[in-house]
Amino acid sequence: MRRTARCACGDAFITVEGEPSQYGICHCSNCRRRTGSAFGLSAYFPKAAVIERGGAMNEFAFHHATFNHDQCRHFCVRCGTTLIWTISTMPDLIGIAAGCFTDPPLGTPSYSTSHSQCLEWVEVPAGINKGG
Ligand SMILES: [Zn+2]
Ligand SMILES: [Zn+2]
């Protein structure tokens, strides 16, 4: 299946083919702050699965001390949505903000990481692997 993730204003997009290599939620403070939400919902696709991407995006690169890796985030210059990112320890994958897939959305994520930091009111379904 071919899916397109779009930023909030619709200008920036990325289209990928197939299913994600990794797809999960993360409760770490980094993901919560990036999204402004209770957890991050991230899909990692092989870079080779990217069909097309477009729209004007800026980049923000930094070293993530907790995970000891470098991240580069690409965000829409018009609306600020962080649409995609790369992580130095996963050079063949591209991270996509999975909530940006709306038509059609992705299915149920397979894992819940940094789960020890899960907010007390968040309930993760039994079928999702929990760790970290
Ligand atoms: Zn935008
Ligand atoms: Zn995280």
Residue ranges of domains in the chain, CATH in brackets: 2-130 (2.170.150.70)
Structure pTM?
Answer: 0.94
In this prediction, residue 83 carries a pLDDT of 98
Q: Is the dihedral angle over the CA atoms 115, 101, 60, 89 positive or is it negative?
A: positive
CA 39–ligand 2 middle distance (angstroms): 8
Report how far residue 8's alpha carbon sits from residue 131's, in angstroms, rounded to the nearest whole number. Answer: 31
**Ligand number nearest to the C-alpha of 39:** 2
pLDDT in tens, 60-81: 999 988 889 999 999 999 999 9
Q: State the Cα–Cα distance between residues 120 and 107, nearest whole angstrom.
A: 24
- The model's pLDDT over 43-56, given as tens digits with 9 standing for 90+, comes to 999 999 999 999 99
54 alpha carbon – ligand 2 mean position (Å): 26
Apex 79 CA angle, 61 and 99, nearest 5: 80
Report the pLDDT value the prediction gives residue 73, as an integer from 0 to 100: 97
Q: For the purposes of burial, counting CB atoms within 10 Å of the CB of 82, is it exposed (0-12), middle (13-18) or buried (19 or more)?
A: buried
111-129 pLDDT, tens digit per residue, is: 999 999 999 999 999 999 9
What average pLDDT score do residues 24-42 get? 95
Record the tokens describing residue 34, joined without a space: 């990036």
Ligand 2 centre to CA of 31 (Å) is 4
